[in-house]
Amino acid sequence: MDFFEAQARAKKRTSRLVVLFVVAVLGTMAAGYVAAWIAVGQVQNSRAQAYDGYGQVYASALDRPLFDPKLLLTVGLGTLLVVGLSSWFKWLSFRTGGAAVAESVGGRRIDPGQATPAERRLLNVVEEMSIASGVPMPAVYVLDQEVGINAFAAGLTTNDAVVAVTRGTLEKLNRDELQGVIGHEFSHILNGDMGLNVKLTALLFGILVIGLMGRGVLWSMRGMRVRSGGNRNSGGAVIAIFGIGIAMMIIGYIGYFFGRLIQAAVSRQREFLADASAVQFTRNPEGISGALSKIGGFALGSGINSNKATAIGHFFFAQGFRSNFGGLWATHPPLDERIRAINPRWDGRFFDPPEVVDVTKESFQTKGFAQAPGTSYAVPPIIDPLRRIAFMPAAAVADVGQLTDNYYRHAQDLLANIPATLREAARQVATAPALTYGLLISGDAKESATQQDIVKTADSVATAEQLAGLLPILRLLDPSARLPLLLLATLALRQLDHAAMERFLGTLDELVYADAKVSTFEFVLQKLLTRHLELARTPDQRVDYVSFNAVSHEIAVVLSVMARIGDANPQAEGIAFATGAAQLKLIESSLVLLSPEAADFEALDHALEKLAVSSFPIRKRLLNAAAHVIGSDGTITVEEGELYRAIAVTLDCPLPPLGAKAGTA
């Protein structure tokens, strides 16, 4: 199943979830109506007579018609109001992205500058996964108070995703097992499961609120007493309020019961898929099966202590809370089933834990570092950005959002050959801007001096000094490693405060236009960064265009720009454009190769803004057509690959780096 099928499947699951939620709300309304009907009858009986609102008197409240339109309307509107507003409130609390979810359960963001060896190992694994999948580096959190083995991914899009692990995961898993767990979570990121989880949490909270309100009513009455010989009406009122509280609590928890059933049913099957994806990603079934075996072997297992996390139990890697009602509420399949699905030869025995687990006794490699401190990095051979390598367009689109071991090994190689100084600069909020500026600095001495002066004036002297220190190392960086390094830096850049962010973006803009022209890489870097930072700040999942005709001009702009990248002659440009247009049969006749003035980088920028809110089928066909344009001669350059990746990222379609075996011949 490719990335686009996974997104379509996630959308279908969301629609099914909404239908089930509506059924649960209708059931809650029905139960509320029955309770209200009985309560109204009891109140009327307390007055010795029962009225239907039209002057007719009944001997008993039970003689009333079962259907009371006014009562049904009142209960229905009240239920919808409470459930709707509560769900909307919960959705808004998570709307800012995955960080809100992680922090709501006590997660602590790892500061790379102060990370422990175990935390640096975790960061290293997440960095490898990020580069291999083409996803911007997620923020990484630790649940310090949780000693069980567990983890989760949260967010609305790939741009605001976070990965969180418990302290037990850091302390008890080796590197292979940690890779398996993180690979599982990246599968959730790429398969659209995160957004579904957030929606499920919001909807379930809406139903639960009715029960919580009833419990609140009862709690508020704990000090009340009905005085004997006092006002009989006051005693009846207290009894009525108590009855209302009991009814609301019962009705709310009935709805919550069925909501949890929906939650469990939606969650369980996705775990098998994520386990399989983790194995495909790392090509090491022993990793994730070892993590699951340790969960079964340790007394604390995967248990989560914090009550704040109960609402997101379906987010976790393994069952975080006791499953009641004979497993009906289980959000995850049994451990033995998950292990056997990965490793059919498993002997049925879980891990036998030692008395003491000490991660400081692991080897240097298992802690997640490629080389020991003090050793020098081998400088890789520099690839000419314009040198052509073999390329298969169809494979490129199939690679979008895929987890494969080829990409993972390629990512490990890329990271191993990026100097430690640059990796550390990418991780730190204080140095990430200078590193980003450095990627734009020209190799020409005169232009370089001018650009460094711009940094000194537009940003600060301190940043300019940091830039000067990084430039000699950046000169040795393989061009194919520029975008992966930039994706790592996005995590630190997201943490800039408002003033620093404005200063950074303004300086970036001045550097791009310093020579009065925009190169392909300058456009790629600025577009990728601004789009990512925008989505990380305000995740956007809306779809405004579902018709190819509505965006045909924008598609023509993209294909025209791609046709002119590199050193193609006019004849080759026409052939390349026609090759891509032929992949869009519905609008092929309306697509024409635009002039350089009508299809420059400014036009491309506007086109991508519109295409970013088109449907996933449009994005898939566009990426396929663009791949055929640049690969019309069977080859691709680093420069073309970077632009193609920037387009994919802008469309929220993560694409692994150029150079891995998949996607190239």
Task: Give me the active site residues, please.
Answer: 185
57: enclosing H helix or E strand: strand 57-58
DSSP letter (8 states) at residue 362? S
What is d(CA 444, CA 631) in angstroms, rounded to the nearest whole number? Answer: 31
Kindly tell me the burial class for residue 336, based on how many C-beta atoms sit within 10 Å of its own C-beta (0-12, 13-18, 19 or more): middle
Full DSSP string of 195-231? HHHHHHHHHHHHHHHHHHHHHHHHHHTTT----TTS-
Total Cβ atoms within 10 A of residue 645: 23
- Of the candidates 186, 141, 130, the one whose C-alpha atom is nearest the C-alpha of residue 485 is 130
What is d(CA 214, CA 250) in angstroms, rounded to the nearest whole number? Answer: 8
Task: Calculate the alpha carbon distances from 368 to 114, 131, 228, 405, 598 in Å.
Answer: 16, 15, 73, 17, 49
Tokens 């006092």 belong to: 230
Total Cβ atoms within 10 A of residue 365: 12
Number of helices and strands in the chain (H, E) = 24, 8
The 10 Å CB-count burial string (b at 16+, else e) for 266-297 is bbbebbebbbbbbbbbbebbebbbbbbbbbbb
- Of the candidates 84, 91, 190, the one whose C-alpha atom is nearest the C-alpha of residue 132 is 190
What is d(CA 297, CA 318) in angstroms, rounded to the nearest whole number? Answer: 14
Residues 6+ apart with CB under 8 A from 507: 433, 437, 454, 455, 458, 459
In contact, 395 and 207? CB cutoff 8 Å: no
In contact, 62 and 41? CB cutoff 8 Å: yes
What is d(CA 649, CA 63) in angstroms, rounded to the nearest whole number? Answer: 66
- Of the candidates 204, 257, 18, 19, the one whose C-alpha atom is nearest the C-alpha of residue 94 is 204
152: enclosing H helix or E strand: strand 151-154
